[in-house]
Amino acid sequence: MARRLAASEGGRGSRLAILAAAPLLLMLLLFEILPLIVVGLDGLHTDSGWSLGNYAAILASPFQRNAFLLSVELSLATAVLGVVIALPVAVVLRRVPKGVSRALLVYATIGANFTGFPIAFAFIIMFGLAGFFTLLLVHAGWIHGLNIYSLSGLVAVYVYFQFQLGLLLLMPALEAITPDLRDAARVMGASDRVFWLRIGLPILAPALISAFVFLFANAMGTYATAYALVGGNANIVTIRIGELLAGDVFSDPHLADALASLLVIGLAIPIVLEQILLHRRRDG
Amino acid sequence: MSFVTLQKLSKRFGDANIFADIDLAIPRGVMCVLVGPSGCGKTTLLRVVAGLTDPDSGRVLIDGQDMTRAPPQRRGIGMVFQHYALFPNLTVAQNLAFGLQQLKLPREEIRNRVRAMLDLVGLMERATVRPRVLSGGQRQRVALARALIMEPKLLLFDEPMSALDAQIRKRLREELMRLQRELGFTGLFVTHDQEEALVIGDQIAVMQEGRFLQVGTPLEVYNRPANRAVARFIGDFNVLEPPEISRVFGQESSAAWAIHPEAVRIGMDEGVTARARILAVRLLGSIVRTELQVAGVQLKCDALNRPDAVQIAVGTEVSISILPQNIRHLKD
Amino acid sequence: MLDWVVVTFVALVQILPVIAVALNAVATDWAGSILPTGYTWRWVEQLLHDPRFTVAIWHSLVVSFGALVIATCVSVPAVLAAHCYLPRLDRWLAALVILPYAVPGIVLAVGLLRLYAGNYGVVLTGTPWILLLGYVPLGVAFFYVPMKNNLRALPVSEFLEAGRILGASDFAVLRRVVLPCVMPGFVVGIVMNFSLAVSEFVYANLLVGGSYPTLQILMNVLSSGSGHLLSVLITAYFLIVAIATSVLLTVSGRQDRAA
């Protein structure tokens, strides 16, 4: 209300404001919106004109279908692990001195963005064929060897950044669980277990769902880390798209666009579901 | 035989002494108010009585039983929190039922007791909404109902009115006193608002820097403050130091004087007297507050408003007087 | 007690990768043994004298600071203008800046490749320009979200009205009052945009690749060779990010104390 007042006050002011905002809008149009539109349109293009042929080809190919399946499995698993690990850690971080939790969170901001070669190679040093953890565990006689260049290797590396991202997303949400809520529950005779089941988790549910969807999208879109760790050997969607772009594989040039469109659609579904779910909760 | 007894309670956090050697006896059915400035240790003391914080030493007895180390739910207490601490994911009725469910009471009994309590605090039609949509006053009533429904022997209040505006606070205060009369519970009420303390309390403990300065009925504390600190905190005393007494009234005194504004009388000359100039006249409800100046010292004078009274103009010189029995000599 | 076990474990998990890479950068040999058998500066010197490294560092700095300057000049005025004058646009902006989080970088990379590889008469791919311009939408959120948090706490329209009554132009009020108040968010935006540009791999690899190699591209090249050189390179990258972060912490710490 008050803001609209400022806007209506000076027509000159708002015209200048549009001028100030114009460069960003132009950039967003040229480097965000148009690329997305082009991908969507090109995905519907085949040599014989407009058709859904590319999509049919993807669905018909077990290779591409498996890429999607593996991407979804990998993302689901690491998103669940990320949230499940981050939640108790976040609860602990609220209890320890402020300086300690702040330091860990600052590092998590960095850690959540350690993707691509830096983190993949660090994991190779630690858990690769001659990695020191691998050797440590082999010496201890617990295992015979680790294969970091595998699906479970990917899961491990993904979880590293996923749980730190989850930590960053969940910490603010935990503010809602105030100490006096726990005190109130204690005075009324509720154990810690009862408190979390009946009060804590229900309060956090929307934040947990949002964090899960965010992590899922993050994992689905991850390219650099998988590329750095296993190169073309990982049959996940982003790697397939990257290969089609780099032209290593002979194929229909528009297949990459169709794959990319499918990836966006696949990500839109959980996001839309989340919005519907959370809005229903808010209204109810 | 008192209902709640605190014996030699002490608590430190690290180097900071929160309170030390606290003794207090609250009779059954009495509302005891802990009043003091923020940071004086009153909230921590309340949490020790609740069992949410352990004391370093001393004992807490409730109804004759030593509860010093008992968990909160075994103490037979109810608590109303400063920011209500209503569970945001539960409806009003579910909030009330929560404690009863922990006791594993039959469903039917829980339903009946919740209904009766909603009726008692007048929130029947809001039973199925969540706390978020309630007004501040309604939230406060839910918090109170949630504490009362457990039929506690002792109710603890942690500054429960501080987040409300004056009008609602006054209404809730009256409602709380009505409930206490009807249900007869014993209460321990923490506040920093001295006016609230005097209205609500049957017994008042004035607390400062982890010690009790004075414990007594509201009239005792108001009329006979034990020392300067109580006089300054409770009531709106005129406190005069010995040099000021000699300047204003021409009398020598080794102790400071505390004089209630309502003990200062204009236009009479019984007791000690002085000539004063009127600085301002203001209306505080039914009270007329006159601000006076005598020899560089400002005095407050309160009198009941009389609609027919002639108003004295600002700047006029008047004579004032105070009866000797209305002067309270302060030792420290 | 259990709390501290958790905290220690998390801190170890967080820091171990960095230590591992840094150790490998100065290890003579680290294969077949749990800890390195010896330490040397050989790899560090070798990389420092490698012309590819000098070029990559230079390219990365050009891209990072270039993208930072462009993103700042474009984003900051827009965020301020939208918040203060254009509430309708502001709601759209909120959605647009978050979009890159829902749309993977690789999808946008496909689109950029279709648009700017000459199909429409413009060739930006293979040049640093596609990075300088392409990073702007990816990083707006780093300005938008923290600055918006600062702005929400300010009665901006009252500031502007007070300014008008005192005879100050809106621009003067924005520059002298509002901008200093959103400084903390602004600094977060600067550092995060910089980190984004030095860390980004998808655009760098798919849109530019070998024709303008940056640090990330050099990592890709070195990954097929000696792991030690790659370790030195990654350590250098860690250092850059650490410096950027400590700048952020210093500035935001100063803000905290001032508040």
Tokens of A188: 């009324």
Bridge partners of residue B319, in order along the sequence: B275
Which DSSP state fits B89? T
Q: Which residue's entry shows tokens 């207090």?
A: B24
Average pLDDT of the residues in A245-249: 67
pLDDT band at A282, cuts 50/70/90?
low
The structural domains of chain B, with segments of one domain joined by +, span 4-233, 241-330
B24: Cβ contacts below 8 Å, ≥ 6 apart: B4, B5, B6, B32, B205, B212, B215
Residues of A in contact with C201 (CB under 8 A): 115-117, 223-224, 227-228
Neighbours of A102 (CB within 10 A): 12
pLDDT band at A252, cuts 50/70/90?
low
Interface mutation vs chain C, best among A3, A12, A24, most C CBs within 10 Å: A24
Amino acid at A33: I
A-chain residue closest to C249, CA distance: A106
Could you give the C-alpha distances from A57 to A47, A49, A53, B218, C161, in angstroms and in order? 13, 15, 6, 87, 61
- The fraction of chain A above a pLDDT of 70, given in percent, is 92
| pLDDT per residue of chain C (259 residues) written in tens, 0 to 9 | 889 999 999 999 989 999 999 988 888 877 767 777 788 888 888 888 999 999 999 999 999 999 999 999 999 999 988 998 888 899 899 889 989 988 999 999 999 998 998 888 888 888 999 999 999 999 999 999 889 888 988 888 888 888 888 888 888 888 888 888 888 888 888 888 998 999 999 999 999 988 899 999 999 888 887 788 999 999 999 999 888 888 888 877 776 655 4
Tokens of B225: 């403050």
Is any Cβ of chain A less than 8 angstroms from the Cβ of B218? no
Span A94-105, pLDDT tens digits: 989 988 988 898
* CA triple A98-C155-B131, angle to 5 deg: 60
User: Is residue B158 within 8 Å of residue B109, measured between CB atoms?
Assistant: no
Average pLDDT of the residues in A160-165: 93
Residues of chain A with a CB closer than 8 angstroms to some CB in chain B: 176, 178, 180-181, 183-190, 194, 198-199, 202-203
Which DSSP state fits B57? E
pLDDT at site C161: 87
pLDDT at site C129: 94
Which DSSP state fits C9? H
pLDDT at site A3: 44
Span B293-304, pLDDT tens digits: 998 889 999 999
Tokens of C82: 């939208």
pLDDT at site B79: 94
Average pLDDT of the residues in A114-122: 89
The ipTM, to two decimals, is 0.88
Bridge partners of residue B62, in order along the sequence: B4, B65
pLDDT at site A210: 93
pTM of the model: 0.86
pLDDT band at A260, cuts 50/70/90?
very high
Q: Which residue's entry shows tokens 């919005």?
A: A275
pLDDT at site A135: 80
The CATH fold assigned to B4-233 is Rossmann fold (3.40.50)
Examine the pLDDT at B253 and tell me if it is beyond 60. Answer: yes
Q: Does domain B241-330 have CATH number 3.90.1150.10?
A: no
CA-based nearest residue to C52, from C242, C254, C236, C255 = C236
Q: How far apart are CA B62 and CA A100, in angstroms?
A: 40
Average pLDDT of the residues in B239-258: 88
Q: How far apart are CA B240 and CA B93, in angstroms?
A: 55
Q: How far apart are CA B58 and CA B210, in angstroms?
A: 14
pLDDT at site A284: 45
- The fraction of chain B above a pLDDT of 90, given in percent, is 58
The three-state (H, E, C) secondary structure of chain A, written as one string: CHHHHHHHHCHHHHHHHHHHHHHHHHHHHHHHHHHHHHHHHHHCEECCEECCHHHHHHHHCHHHHHHHHHHHHHHHHHHHHHHHHHHHHHHHHHHCCHHHHHHHHHHHHHHCCCCCHHHHHHHHHHHCCCCHHHHHHHHCCCCCCCCCCCHHHHHHHHHHHHHHHHHHHHHHHHCCCCHHHHHHHHHCCCCHHHHHHHHHHHHHHHHHHHHHHHHHHHHHCCCHHHHHHHHHHCCCHHHHHHHHHHCCCCCCCCHHHHHHHHHHHHHHHHHHHHHHHHHHHHHC
CA-based nearest residue to B97, from B84, B81, B116, B82 = B116
Q: How far apart are CA B79 and CA B84, in angstroms?
A: 9
- Residues comprising chain B, all counted: 332
Q: Cβ A104–C10 below 8 Å, yes or no? A: yes
Query: Domains in chain C, please, with CATH?
Result: 63-258 (1.10.3720.10)
pLDDT at site A171: 92
Phi, psi for A198 (deg, rounded to 5):
-95, -25
pLDDT at site A2: 42
Query: Domains in chain A, please, with CATH?
Result: 1-43 (no CATH), 62-283 (1.10.3720.10)
The more confidently predicted of residues A247 and A137 is A137
pLDDT at site A4: 45
Residues of A in contact with B77 (CB under 8 A): 187
Averaged confidence pLDDT in chain A: 86
Which DSSP state fits C126? T
| Beta strands at B287-294 and B272-284: parallel, antiparallel or unpaired | antiparallel
CA A245 to chain centre: 23
* CA triple C107-A167-C9, angle to 5 deg: 120
Residues of A in contact with C13 (CB under 8 A): 160
Average pLDDT of the residues in B132-154: 92
- Min Cα distance B142 → chain A (Å) is 13
Span B87-138, pLDDT tens digits: 999 999 999 999 999 999 999 999 999 999 999 888 999 999 999 999 989 9
